[in-house]
Amino acid sequence: MPATPSSSVRFDLPDVDVFTRPYWDAAAEGLLLIRRCRDCARAHHYPREFCPYCWSEDVAWERAEGRARLYTWSVVHRNDLPPFGTRTPYVAAVVDLAEGPRMMTEVVECPEDELRIGMELTVTFRREGGHGSGQGSGDEGEIDVPVFRPQGSMAG
């Protein structure tokens, strides 16, 4: 049996491998990538190595506009997995990207009572991970996670 994970284990950071590296590299530059099938022309998210609709392997990266509409959400008040415990409450959401794919994400910068099905959202990126103290980019293990905020939101 594997040993019990240490207390430093985090559950919010995805594995970055050779396949998903372009996605996270783009995210670090503030770009959201999706995958589009060249056979059936459908886009999908999260990134997969072959099309989930027709199983074609002729799938390419494409830059998404970063616009989406809120499909559904759940305000999470309790999550015992680190580091979520320090982050509650947060808005776990499912959004429909302008390109079509449905994506699990979080909505930020929006009061709970202003959330509306179908509201327009814009992608933004939250830097996570890394080992702290680091200045500048390039810190191994640091990634920019796409989340969404209300489109055109300003204070007030």
Shortest distance (Å) from residue 59 CB to Zn ion: 7
Q: Look up residue 103 and give its amino acid.
A: M
Stretch that binds Zn ion, among 6-14, 34-42, 131-139, 140-148 (CB under 5 A): 34-42
> Rounded to whole angstroms, how far apart are CA atoms 154 and 133?
30
11 contacts Zn ion (rule: CB under 5 A)? no
> Rounded to whole angstroms, how far apart are CA atoms 88 and 110?
14
In terms of CB distance, is 101 or 129 closer to Zn ion?
Answer: 101
39 contacts Zn ion (rule: CB under 5 A)? yes
- List 27, 37, 110, 147, residue binding Zn ion (CB under 5 A): 37
Shortest distance (Å) from residue 43 CB to Zn ion: 10
In terms of CB distance, is 54 or 104 closer to Zn ion?
Answer: 54
3-state secondary structure of 42: coil
x/- string (CB under 5 A) for Zn ion, residues 42-61?
Answer: ---------x-xx-x-----
Size of the site for Zn ion (CB under 5 A): 7
Shortest distance (Å) from residue 94 CB to Zn ion: 22
Determine how many CB atoms are found less than 10 A away from the CB of residue 150.
19
Contacts of residue 88, Cβ cutoff 8 Å, sequence gap at least 6: 76, 77, 78, 79
Shortest distance (Å) from residue 114 CB to Zn ion: 37
User: Would you state the structure tokens that stand for residue 151, as one six-digit string?
Assistant: 């489109």
C-alpha distances in Å from residue 79, one per residue of 46, 76, 84, 104: 23, 7, 6, 17
Residues near Zn ion (CB under 5 A) are: 37, 39-40, 51, 53-54, 56
